[in-house]
Amino acid sequence: SLGSAVPLQPEGCTGTSVSRAMAAKFERLVETERPDGWGSIREVLNAPLQDVAGDESWLSVIGMWLLFPLNLIQGIFGGLIQALFVQLSLGFACLPGTQGAVLSDRPCSMAWVWWRYTFAALTALIANGRSRLALFMWEWEAFGKDRFWWHGEGVWCWSYADCDKILRSEQGRKSAFGAVRACVPDLFASNILIFLPNTSSDSEWAAIRRSLHMHFLDTGLEQYRTRVKQLPKLIGGDWKKPKHEDLSEITLLQKTVAKCIFFVMFGQWITEAESEILIGWRTNAALFILPRLVQRFIGNVGIKKVKKLREDTVGLVEKYGLEHSFVAMNNSMSDRWRRTPVVKLCDEIMYVVGFAGIGGTCAACESVGSFLQVKIPAESAAEHIKWGKFDSRLKMITKYKESPEKYIKETCRLVPPVTSAT
């Protein structure tokens, strides 16, 4: 309708200039339809960096590049020899490790301990089949299979009792992921749920979580249940004549997951091209775990990709006119926790939806698909997975049909879809 209202090309104007004028006019029209206080996602993404350590400075990055061969050699040996890896983590004699740097608040003068540790951790990850779970088990073994071990910037534990106790307790969280300081606000959105302390019922974490469930994730709502019931028909429309072998079509699985999650939350069955955008939350998974030092070492390529992903994800919300849902969610919270502009809240929620909802669910579906075909999933702790008597597709399918929920949970226990350890 906008195109039909545009006059014929005036004399002296090129087709390109008219196209640009139309685009600019359309953009202004769309902007005027945004709710009051919505704001710009680009301003949110380009806000000042937060909590950048001295050893992550550009000066440190230059030093890391200048001493690259030396760092790489030390890192290779450290990532293959467990005793040396422990020394790089905890220090040896008068030489500090990453633990010492953390206790000293990570000054630039101690950046060199991170240079070699970075390559050691990368080498160990590759040596363990690129499986984070296998890496953590290797590290646990390196530290003597004790109750705790050191990884990144913090202490890790492995037992069910300790993990369960932590999950049930109040947690004084901060902007960190996998015991590594998060890149905020360019790679990670600030103040997302996993960064907020859950210290009381009136905390920011509690307020956002309540509001998120009230507006999007209340399984008791008729609208939510109706959408879930519609999924089989919608999936069938895209995935015609499904075959067992289709489970190996990873992109097909990922796009289906992205479409389902977006539909359950917003009631929109997105297009193939739009699902291609959202599967970036899965395909870019390796970029989220890299600390700022590494991001800068590779020229911020990873951060640029994720910023584009976040902008495009919010763009889908704007395209379908779904801003009102986030305005309502923002207004439902007290003044203390409201976001200004509102698009910041949208970015935070969509980050969690994309990062955990789409990325994590894709990983789980890929693993279940592999198990049903009696295949070891990529990036799994392969040497620790044994099929036992379930050594054929028929046996696997039969077991799955007995209890799909239990089968999926067991798959996720063997191949954790998110962080892989606590």
The residues that bridge with 405 in the sheet, in sequence order, are none
How much is the pLDDT for 419? 64
How much is the pLDDT for 10? 40
Indicate whether 11 pLDDT > 80: no
| Per-residue pLDDT reduced to its tens digit, 264-300 | 999 999 999 999 999 999 999 999 989 999 999 999 9
How much is the pLDDT for 3? 35
| Per-residue pLDDT reduced to its tens digit, 221-267 | 888 999 999 999 999 999 999 998 999 999 999 999 999 999 999 99
- Interatomic CA distance for residues 188 and 306, integer angstroms: 8
> Residue 371: helix, strand or coil by DSSP?
helix
The residues that bridge with 149 in the sheet, in sequence order, are 156
Indicate whether 6 pLDDT > 60: no
Q: How does DSSP classify residue 213?
A: I
DSSP assignment of 300-317: THHHHHHHHHHHHHHHHH
Indicate whether 73 pLDDT > 70: yes
Chain centroid to CA 9: 47
Residues 6+ apart with CB under 8 A from 77: 84, 120
**In 10 A of CB 266, how many CB atoms?**
17
Model confidence at 178, pLDDT cuts 50, 70, 90, reads confident
How much is the pLDDT for 26? 45
Cα–Cα distances in angstroms (integers) from residue 308 to residues 113, 150, 166, 192, 338, in the given order: 32, 33, 35, 18, 25
Indicate whether 13 pLDDT > 90: no
Residue type, 289: I
How much is the pLDDT for 8? 36
Residue with tokens 């028909």: 233
pTM of the entire predicted model: 0.89
Model confidence at 325, pLDDT cuts 50, 70, 90, reads very high
- Interatomic CA distance for residues 325 and 265, integer angstroms: 10
Q: What is the mean pLDDT of the chain?
A: 91
- Interatomic CA distance for residues 418 and 319, integer angstroms: 29
The residue that leads in pLDDT, 171 or 230, is 230
Is the link from the previous residue into 416 a cis peptide, with omega within 30 of 0?
no
Answer yes or no: are the C-beta atoms of 39 and 342 closer than 8 Å.
yes
Answer yes or no: are the C-beta atoms of 142 and 90 closer than 8 Å.
no
Could you tell me the two tokens for 345? 């809240």
> Residue 184: helix, strand or coil by DSSP?
strand
